[in-house]
Amino acid sequence: MAITKEEVLHVARLARLELNDAEVERFQGQLSAILEAVGKVAELDLSDVPPTSHPLEVSNAWGEDVPHTSLTQDEAFANAPERDDDHFRVPPA
Amino acid sequence: MSTTWEPVIGLEIHVQLKTATKMFCRCRNGYGGEPNTQTCPVCLAFPGALPVPNRRAIEETIKLGLALECTIADRAIFHRKNYFYPDLPKAYQISQYDEPLCANGRLVVPTADGEVEIGIVRAHLEEDAAKNVHVATSGRIQGATATLVDFNRGGSPLVEIVTAPNIHSADVAKRFLQLLRQTVVELGLSDAELDKGSMRFDVNVSVRPAGSDELRTRTELKNMNSFNFAAKGIEREIARQIKIYENGGTVDQETLHFDPTAEESAPMRSKEEAQDYRYFPEPDLVPLHPAPEMIEGLRGQIGELPTARIRRIANTLSFYDADVLVTGGLDRLWAAVVDGGADPKEAANVLANAFVATGINPSAVNPEEFTKLVASRSEIPRAVFDDALSHVGDPGFSAEPYVAQKAVSDASALEPVIAAVIEANPGQVEQYRGGKQGLLGFFVGQVMKETGGSADPRVVSELVREQLGA
């Protein structure tokens, strides 16, 4: 279950990470080890086991459609990298 | 021998639900607020904030699924769809993937040539992104730009509806969209206004030799904000692809940005790499198991749907009239007026033409008063009728004062006016008597003018002809 160098670079690109050659090699080893460990599960016969999407035996956890108080603009912008009047301002998309 | 080509069209529609609150937090949902005043730690993606689904949004989605004859899932889950963009603060959108709430439905679209069944692959629930505004910045660096973000819309509930690629003409695609919109509006789910973005759609188009069942490379049309533009854009794309194949070329898979003013649809900047959203189950949310009682309760809230009404009304009127009344949201008012004794065809004409032109919301109209007005349409002057029509949506509107202004059809009242008009226009009288019958309209017009539009033009016309009769 070894992961290729190209796959490491692809995943890094999706996560917007820039890796140098040494890092690519290190993560290739680490990711391969993780995949291998998880791959152990595939050795079991799980044809009768439904995939688990959540560990809790809980369903239909929802809230009623009743508004609560939102943050003020000042609160909302408190951690903003940059504020432009009543908007968040970010580098061009 | 030239090939006959068959278009293959699939639609993807997003409808914004008009719940009171957002999908995963209880910030207010809706337009009108100052930018960034409807936000909280959940919809701004502060670390540790947890989503709580909106029960009503789930119910509305199921209701739409039932109206579209979908199978409602016994178990549905949310997935994370991962991508980076400033309108998505979590860097993932909570959506549904392989276990959507509704799947395998259909919408039957009545057309002049019979009914066409369009398959619904799925209808699922997700959250909307925030609103980005791209601006040029002033200052020393020329051409520098920035993106401004308003998170009020971020996290609003959206239903995505995906059709099977079994639409084969631009006209059916347009009718499907109109019918779906009317269905959504009547169910009370959404205002589904194209110009406000509460209904948006993308169209996938390909063509193939008629009779084959292959699926060729498709292109995606985006940015269409009217049903007529959609039909026009689809027609144009079909013609473009046919031309490419007939010249021995191949169609590239691309996204085309529709510009109604241009002759062609321009390709959008191609994506640097194939989309890789890395969907995985949203660990912050537990599965949904809609109970059968809940589903049946929602089914009970659905009235007679537009398709069924078009079918029924087309038994009385033409398909065209039935379609216009139902997709225009006018048929309930029409039925009330007809029940009140109005002629079905005349009532349909008034509604589809004069009434639509006023832009009044049909639900604001009192059917009883409207019926009285339509019933006396032929007896009151046109100007009075039009004036009345422009007020039928006013609270407390009464037809009485308008109906009381009956057109003057009493010959003894009209004859002196007609005599005066004849006397004042000897030249025209001579020409008329000399055979220029077209001048009758001139005399009628003069009499209408003299009476301030209160005369009944049909009576005037008869009397003028009599008096000039030579």
- ipTM of predicted complex: 0.91
Q: Which of B409, B363, B359 is nearest to B389 (CA)?
A: B359
Which domain-ending residue is among B386, B403, B420? B403
Q: What is the least distance, in Å, from the CA of B200 to any CA of chain A?
A: 22
Q: Are B427 and B396 in a shared domain?
A: no
CB spacing of B85 vs A65 below 8 angstroms: no
Residue with the two structure tokens 């009956």: B406
Mean pLDDT for B376-383 is 81
Q: Are B242 and B126 in a shared domain?
A: yes
Show the domain range for A9. 1-45
Q: Does A50 touch chain B (CB under 8 A)?
A: no
Q: Are B399 and B415 in a shared domain?
A: no
Show the domain range for B337. 330-403
Beta-ladder partners of B92:
B82
Amino acid at A76: A
pLDDT tens-place string over residues B296-315: 999 999 999 999 999 999 99
**A46 Cβ contact list (under 8 Å, min separation 6):** none
Q: Which residue has the higher pLDDT, B400 or B20?
A: B20
Q: Are B13 and B32 in a shared domain?
A: yes
If one counts the domains in chain B, the total is 3
In a domain, B41, yes or no: yes
- How far, CA to CA in Å, does B333 sit from each of B323, B352, B369? 14, 11, 11
In a domain, A22, yes or no: yes
In a domain, B433, yes or no: yes
Which domain-ending residue is among B282, B297, B312? B297
Q: Are B292 and B248 in a shared domain?
A: yes
Q: Are B445 and B385 in a shared domain?
A: no
If one counts the domains in chain A, the total is 1
A58 neighbourhood in chain B, CB within 8 Å: 286
CB spacing of A89 vs B281 below 8 angstroms: no
For testing the chain B interface, which of A71, A74, A75, A77 should be mutated: the one with the most B CBs within 10 Å?
Answer: A71
- How far, CA to CA in Å, does B15 sit from each of B28, B197, B457? 17, 8, 49
CATH assignment at residue A1: 1.10.20.60
Instruction: Report the C-alpha gap between A4 and A24 in whole angstroms.
Output: 10
Instruction: Give the pLDDT of residue B225.
Output: 83
Instruction: Report the C-alpha gap between A75 and B39 in whole angstroms.
Output: 10
Interface of A with B in 16-45 (CB under 8 A): 16
Instruction: Give the pLDDT of residue B272.
Output: 43
B291 neighbourhood in chain A, CB within 8 Å: 60
Q: Percent of chain B at pLDDT above 90?
A: 60
Query: Which of B112-116, B135-139, B253-257 has the lowest average pLDDT?
Result: B135-139
B21 neighbourhood in chain A, CB within 8 Å: 65-68
Q: Are B359 and B241 in a shared domain?
A: no
For testing the chain B interface, which of A11, A60, A69 should be mutated: the one with the most B CBs within 10 Å?
Answer: A60
In a domain, A73, yes or no: no
